[in-house]
Amino acid sequence: MDENGLRIAFAGALVGAVCLGWVLHWLWRLMGQNTGPKSIKKTADLATRLHDAEEALFQAEATLAGERQAHSARVTELETELAQAHDRMREMRDAYEQVLAESRGEA
């Protein structure tokens, strides 16, 4: 290899090293963006939002439990009314059949 080829090889190596350094610096800054005061503020904001969401979840669960209990009580009440209505219909049907049997017996 002559002197000119050696200079070209060194120049190529220097350009490659500079390019590699630039790319590595860019990656380093890209990954290190989440540090400093901005990151702390973002983290605090996310923590506040998470806490508010958890509170809303607990309130929604409590409301849901109350609604379920109210609906269960209403269903029990309606089932009781339905059973009473069935009993009353059975009594009326028996009375009707008795009246019908009596009317047939008299005719």
CA–CA dist 93, 98 (Å, integer): 8
Q: Pick left, alpha or beta for residue 22 (phi over 0 → left; psi -120 to 50 → alpha; otherwise beta).
A: alpha
The pTM for the full model equals: 0.49
Q: Mean pLDDT over residues 92-105, rounded? A: 91
Q: What is the pLDDT of residues 35-91, one digit of tens each?
A: 666 778 888 899 999 999 999 999 999 999 999 999 999 999 999 999 999 999 999
pLDDT given at position 107: 54
pLDDT given at position 84: 97
Q: Taking the domains of the chain in order of start, what are their residue ranges?
A: 1-34, 37-107
pLDDT given at position 36: 64
Q: Which amino acid is at 35?
A: T
